[in-house]
Amino acid sequence: MSKNNTHVQYNECLICLEQINKTISIINLLKVYPICISCLEQFEVIDLHTHFYQYQLHILYYYNDFFKKLLYQYKGQYDIALKDTFLLLYQTQLKKRYHRHIIVVAPSLDEDNQRRGFLHMEEIAKTITQDVFIGLYKKESYKQTKKKLRNKEETYQQIGIRDKGRLKGRKVLLLDDVLTSGSTLYACLQHIESCQPQSIECLVLSTHLKITSDMSWE
């Protein structure tokens, strides 16, 4: 990567490390991306606006094989540079829409954060704002309980929250990486609600579910 005046030129794709400009595309001419066209085209875009209970929910991508590998490369192999890839297709609109919001990131286990050396959702959130709340945390890994959490109440009990005062009266955007059953998202929302924010919206990077706009969670 090299700097040229006010523009940044990315020579190698952050994901596959191939030369970015090897394939010429109109996309290259419109905007400079830190990934190659081949990787860019593997994001299976949903861009779905729907509701999760009474909250606005925006889902960006399907959790396909490419996204699964990308998330593992980022979280499991500690490739922190990949933080810049997840929101790049939406970065301009997200910065504009949420510039007055505080982003609350979904919780992760403290020992996982210490092992990788960073909070993976915090780093993604910081690509659109520095106003990020990391007070939600997992009390223990769901896998460590050696049983499936049977209902939303059990999931709620597995999550804690620190520094609640920061959210009072604020516009909140809850950010998570993968939507599966929705139990974790719901539990996070309940904790955030207890802080008396001005409003809450949800943004999820990906989902396994084949979702339609008329789906609802109750």
Q: Which tens digit of pLDDT belongs to each residue from 59-104?
A: 999 999 999 999 999 999 999 999 999 999 999 999 999 999 999 9
Q: What kind and span of H or E run contains 8?
A: strand 7-9
Q: What is the pLDDT of residues 11-39, one digit of tens each?
A: 899 999 998 875 555 455 456 789 998 99
**What's this model's pTM, rounded to 2 decimal places?**
0.87
187 within 8 A of 156, measured Cβ to Cβ: yes
* φ/ψ (deg, to 5) at 138: -85, 130
Name the nearest CA neighbour of 20 among 42, 39, 44. 39
